[in-house]
A and B are shown apart, each in its own frame.
Chain A
Amino acid sequence: MIPRHFQIMIALLLAAILVSGVYIIKLKHKEQAKSEQGLEERPIAPPVAGKQEHIQVLVAYDEDRALRWREASVSLPQQRNLRAREVLRALLAQYLQNPSPHPMGKGADIRDVYFINPETAIVDTSPQFADGHPSGILLEEMTICSLMETLNANVPGIAQVKFIVDGHERETLAGHVDLMSFYQSSMVHDLAKEFE
Chain B
Amino acid sequence: MRWTRCRTRQAGLGTGLLLLSCTLLLGAVHQQLELRVHAQTSANPALQPAAPPSSAGSSSPAAPAPIAQFPAGNAVRSAPAFFVMIDPGHGGDDIGARLGSKLAEKDITLALARKIKADLQERGIVVRLVRDDDVTLSLEQRAETINQQHAGAYVAIHAGTPGGGVRVYIPAFAVNGSAAPGRFLTWEHAQDNYLPRSRLLALGIAGELKKKNITAVTLGTPLRPLNNIHAPAIAIELAADPDNVLDITDQKFQGAVATAIAAGVAQVRVQLEGQQ
Q: Hey, which bits of chain A sit against chain B, CB under 8 A?
A: 62-63, 65, 134-139, 141, 144, 168-172, 175-178, 180-181, 183-184, 187, 190-191, 194
Question: Closest approach, in angstroms, between the C-beta of A57 and any C-beta of chain B?
Answer: 21
- Which residues 134-187 of B sit at the A interface, judged by CB distance below 8 A? 139, 158, 160-163, 167, 169, 172-173
- Docked pose: A98 CA to B67 CA in angstroms: 44
Knowing A171-B139, A176-B224, say if A135 contacts B105 (CB, 8 Å). yes
Q: Is residue B216 contacting chain A, with contact meaning CB distance below 8 A?
A: no
Q: A175-B90, A178-B223 are in contact. Are A184 and B173 (CB under 8 A)?
A: yes
Is there an interface contact between A180 and B220, defined as CB atoms closer than 8 Å? no
Docked Cα-Cα span, A191 to B222, in Å, equals 9
Distance in Å: Cβ of A137 to nearest Cβ of chain B: 5
A175 close to B94 (CB less than 8 A)? yes
Known: A137-B169, A138-B167, A169-B55. A178 touches B98 (CB 8 A): no
Binding site for A on B (CB under 8 A): 55-57, 60, 90, 94, 96-98, 105, 139, 158, 160-163, 167, 169, 172-173, 188, 219-224, 227, 235, 237, 239
Question: Given A137-B223, A138-B163, A175-B94, 9 more contacts at CB 8 Å?
Answer: A65-B162, A136-B161, A139-B162, A171-B224, A172-B224, A176-B158, A178-B227, A183-B173, A191-B172
Docked Cα-Cα span, A144 to B222, in Å, equals 10
> For residue A168, which residues in chain B have a CB less than 8 angstroms away from its CB?
56
28 A–B pairs (Cβ distance < 8 Å), ordered by A: A62-B161, A65-B162, A135-B97, A135-B160, A136-B158, A136-B237, A137-B223, A137-B235, A138-B237, A138-B239, A139-B162, A144-B222, A168-B56, A169-B55, A169-B56, A171-B56, A171-B139, A175-B90, A175-B94, A175-B97, A178-B222, A178-B227, A180-B56, A181-B222, A181-B227, A183-B222, A187-B173, A191-B172
Majority secondary structure, B binding face: mixed
Which chain B positions have C-beta within 8 A of A139? 160-162
Cα distance, A175 to B94, chains bound together (Å): 8
Given the complex, which residues of B lie within 8 Å of A171, measured CB to CB?
Answer: 56-57, 60, 139, 224
